[in-house]
Chains A and B, each alone.
Chain A
């Protein structure tokens, strides 16, 4: 009886595995390969030319500008908000948490429209802005604003659970040992959250550069002026310049891959920081302590098995992240009506692959 149970287990296992692998192959790896295949379909010179034409260069510049402004803003906001939320009790705390989540729950297109309604020609501040000759909508400030809005929660959401879990004991200990506020932050708080912080910045940056919906609404698609990389890719695609479009898209896919690699590296680092076996109680007989060499051997062994485990889980994350990257990068996915649900699939995949760490925020994001 147990034999048949084992056999059905094996079938179940291989069935599920085949299903998952098939899905990954069909929906993630194939599109990714296609992006690069299409990008190089007219050869390397055409690929390079597509990236060096003035409109593309301007798009790259604008994308970088938006990220360079949005990411530090987020960093500052994220640290201060999560510090306040994790360390203090105050009125309206849950409201603040809900507000931080707002950009996750609002469709990016709506986020863009909000800015049009507020700053646009027919918006609240439209006439006043027009009088003073300040352009926000269909100009660079609007793009930066929209980018800041959609990336708002990344750092804070990453840090709040981390800081809450760490508690304030260590900070209090530092203060009692005579550290001032700045020393406490620099020597105790920051090292405690460094990997989470870097990870939040990484996610924030990926989103800032890859954002399509909100930016698309406020940009006005003025070539060479208000196009970011994703918008530029879409325009090229709509103009049937497939090779050029995919060349630009491949840049974004590359960004996704780099983000993925950096993320894995970060995780490996933070894991290494935490991975540490607890030796047996040695208080009673300090003299009979394990020789240092033996102890280290145990450590190394333990660490190796942990690295292996993380390597395995890394593969599944890689798949999920490829999905996120490809779908962010592939221009027509967002452009096609009704295809908006696809990135959602990718995001939830990314989320489930790492649900145990509660680090993934992507499931919050609706497209």
Chain B
């Protein structure tokens, strides 16, 4: 089933949870609603499920208006953040619930219910837990039982609210992969809410990035990661360095700075980043966003172009070396990532002056005064 929402608005008192949100989810897609807490992603999910009503706007299922349909008639499977398993029922009864409350005419026979519950338990690989109670299960098991329960009514849409939020890192990773495989098997349209960018990048076909009740950007994980449309998206998806300066005639000037190196007493350098796309711009404050692996690093040499910074710390992580650098007389750290071989060839020492050259940078002009330093 495809889902479409049009111009959804929702306010809670003074707080705007959704501000004119329009989105489309295609049949069989696995979409991540990503954003910081309070961005409206859970509200959107609840409105699609029918648990809340939007102040204005439409929800369409397969092109038909769904706003008059009761939650129980929408054929949505919903997995709650804290699972919401019926605590006084066994795992079997939890999964069977959706079948047992059907009107008598549509209700499957007892044997049929039992068969379907066991099939679902096999699907989530927990057949041996049928007689347990929710309190006897671990977090990951509860999560999968909640999913099995939601699937029992053969929903045409699966909505998952922070499905891995309450689990520890190891289990989370396993479950992510498992959910992806399950989705590929079932091909049911699925939307999951998360604030974890890694989760969204890894699992989803498409990411919808939300902030302050609005959709900031949407696209495949790769497209969103590589071409963020705004500083916010850049800061939210992955680590990024930010360089503030002034854009003028195709260059972002980062200002004059004086550096002390071992061989020269002092040394003035002018740093800039090429910004050909802003060739027409004159004297406008702007920021460049550069990912750690997009910084090329070499030893400082007088006259060579690049941003001069001192190495304050370096460590190995996986197959790469991670560097923390500091510009003299500038607050904040710069993060860089080098292939291990390159790092070993350079033989860097702590405190050494280096030159950084962004291989790729996204430059955003400031609409007004420079905004606050982004986290990450």
Contact = CB atoms under 8 A, between A and B. Distances in A.
Interface of A: 169-170, 172-180, 183, 187-188, 191-192, 273-274, 276-284, 286, 289, 292, 299
B97 interface: yes
Interface string B125-148: 110100001011111110010000
Cβ-closest 5 pairs across A and B: A169-B84, A177-B98, A283-B140, A276-B135, A179-B101
Interface in B90-145: 97-98, 101-102, 125-126, 128, 133, 135-141, 144
Contacts of B139: 281
B250 interface: no
A247 B313 CA distance: 87
Interface stretch (B167-175, B185-193, B229-237, B259-267): B167-175
A280 B136 CA distance: 10
A172 B135 CA distance: 19
B87 interface: yes
Given A280-B138, A283-B138, A178 B87 contact: no
Contacts of B138: 278-283
Given A280-B138, A282-B138, A170 B101 contact: no
Contacts of B141: 282-283
Nearest to A170: B84
B101 A183 contact: yes
A178 B168 CA distance: 32
Given A178-B73, A281-B171, A282-B141, 8 more contacts: A169-B84, A170-B85, A170-B87, A175-B71, A176-B77, A180-B101, A188-B86, A281-B168
B88 A180 contact: no
A163 B101 CA distance: 23
A179 B136 contact: no
B101 A173 contact: no
A177 B95 CA distance: 10
Contacts of A299: 136
Nearest to A292: B128
B174 A284 contact: yes
B149 A273 contact: no
Contact of B126 (A176, A273, A281, A286): A286
B113 to A, nearest CB: 13
Nearest to A275: B135
Nearest to A184: B101
B170 A177 contact: no
B84 A172 contact: yes
B80 interface: yes
A96 B141 CA distance: 41
B153 A284 contact: no
12 contacts: A173-B84, A174-B101, A176-B78, A176-B150, A177-B101, A178-B72, A178-B102, A179-B101, A187-B86, A192-B88, A279-B137, A281-B140
B136 A276 contact: yes
A192 B70 CA distance: 24
B51 interface: yes
B175 A172 contact: no
Contact of B98 (A178, A180, A192, A286): A178
Interface string B146-190: 000110110000000000000010110011000000000000000
B66 interface: no
A47 B155 CA distance: 69
B71 A176 contact: yes
B76 interface: yes
B323 to A, nearest CB: 34
B171 A283 contact: yes
Nearest to B126: A286
* Residue of A277, A278, A283 most packed against chain B (CB within 10 A): A283
A177 B153 contact: yes
Contacts of B80: 169, 172-173
B86 A176 contact: no
Contact of B137 (A177, A278, A286): A278
B82 interface: yes
B87 A176 contact: no
Contacts of A173: 78, 80, 84, 86, 149
Given A174-B97, A178-B153, A286 B125 contact: yes
B309 interface: no
Contacts of B175: 283
B49 interface: yes
Nearest to A279: B138
A49 B125 CA distance: 69
A195 B149 CA distance: 26
A273 B135 CA distance: 9
A89 B354 CA distance: 60
Nearest to A280: B138
B170 A179 contact: no
A176 B85 CA distance: 13
Contact of B101 (A187, A274, A278, A282): A187
A34 B153 CA distance: 64
A37 B168 CA distance: 63
Contacts of B125: 286
Contacts of B71: 172, 175-176
A191 B102 contact: no
B153 A174 contact: no
B135 A170 contact: no
Contact of A191 (B49, B88, B135): B88
